[in-house]
Structure 1
Amino acid sequence: MIKKHVMVGALMALSSTAAGASDVSPEDMVIKLFDAMRAGNGGAIREMVVADARLDRLKPDGTLQQGTFERWISWVDTQEDGDADEQVFGVKTLSASPELATVWAPFELTYKGKFVGCGINQFTLAKSKDGWKFLYGIDMHHDGDCAEFKKEIMK
């Protein structure tokens, strides 16, 4: 579980938005995140994420597998360019203010040329003087037909 003081500290550090901050949108950040994953560039991802950010997975049985962006970043660093290809589609910001956004990003995942599956990501981002940063992420894989899943999302 995220310690309250860690989250409060992260939000306080990110809460002051200075003039001239990047005009990159939260949706753009999600695209950049997966571009860096495709490139096997964990360092680029690390720059987009606040320290100690959580990255969890909701499993099909309803249990929560807790993780961190850092653990995922370490895995990304072991990948060759193009190995892990997570393509997002129908990306939507469902809740936004000038400094806080929640982004839903459905995905299809291919690993080393083989289709792995699909699902949905949800990210919480905050904007600082340096631009948007990821505070939290969670994903859930879809257990059914991915073509139907994508068709429903794209309606």
Structure 2
Amino acid sequence: MKFKIVALFVFIPLFVFGQNQKQTKDEDQIKSVILKTFSAMKSVDSVALKSCFTSNAMLHISQVKPEGNALREVPAAKFIQNVMTRKPGDMDERVLSWGPILIDQEIATAWVPYEFYFNGKFTHKGVDVFLLVKSGNEFKIQTLLYNMHQ
């Protein structure tokens, strides 16, 4: 009986510690793919940018307009094509803070407030909401929903 109690006090903390380390590793990987996305946009690197998204990823852009809210949907491939028409340094998206990152096995969400600069000038800010899927050993962006405001 004593062995069972001792085993519980030894193995349960080890299991919890292992789970926390996996969670931290996954969170770091998610932050890394988001920062890689922003860096690839800024450097106009199509290979790096494409590697951040799943093959059928979508972007959803929410804008508040005088005539009402508008939601546009853009395939990631079209977004990447648009980025490639820019010059390096034109687009500069900056993380303001890291909101919650929630992970369950192979799916995750990340809430990321941002500011956006075009040609060195602030144009807007908002929140990026990333929905990610683990493919093999890495997370990739499946859906990016974001809003834009002053």
User: What TM-score do the two structures reach when normalised by structure 2?
Assistant: 0.74
Structure 2 equivalent of residue 36 of structure 1: 40
- Counterparts of 1:30 and 1:66 in 2: how far apart (Å)? 20
- Counterparts of 1:56 and 1:66 in 2: how far apart (Å)? 5
User: Secondary structure, in 3 states, of the residue corresponding to 1:63?
Assistant: strand
Structure 1 equivalent of residue 95 of structure 2: 88
Aligned length: 123
Runs of 4+ in 1 over 3 A off after TM superposition: none
User: Secondary structure, in 3 states, of the residue corresponding to 1:59?
Assistant: strand
Given that 1:48 and 1:133 are in contact with CA atoms closer than 8 Å, whether structure 2 keeps it comes out as yes
User: Secondary structure, in 3 states, of the residue corresponding to 2:69?
Assistant: coil
Q: CA deviation at 1:23?
A: 8.7
* Equivalent runs, 1:61-100 vs 2, <5 Å: 61-100=68-107
* Equivalent runs, 1:14-25 vs 2, <5 Å: 25=29
Could you tell me which amino acid in structure 1 is paired with residue 33 of structure 2? M
Higher relative contact order (CA 8 A, sep 6+): 1
Instruction: Could you tell me which runs of 5 or more consecutive residues in structure 1 were left unpaired when the two chains were aligned.
Output: 1-21, 144-155
Q: Is the radius of gyration larger for structure 1 or structure 2?
A: 2
Structure 2 equivalent of residue 13 of structure 1: none
Given that 2:99 and 2:113 are in contact with CA atoms closer than 8 Å, whether structure 1 keeps it comes out as no
- Counterparts of 2:27 and 2:143 in 1: how far apart (Å)? 21
Higher-strand-fraction structure = 2
Structure 1 equivalent of residue 18 of structure 2: none
Higher-helix-fraction structure = 2
Structure 2 equivalent of residue 15 of structure 1: none
User: What TM-score do the two structures reach when normalised by structure 1?
Assistant: 0.72
Identity %: 26
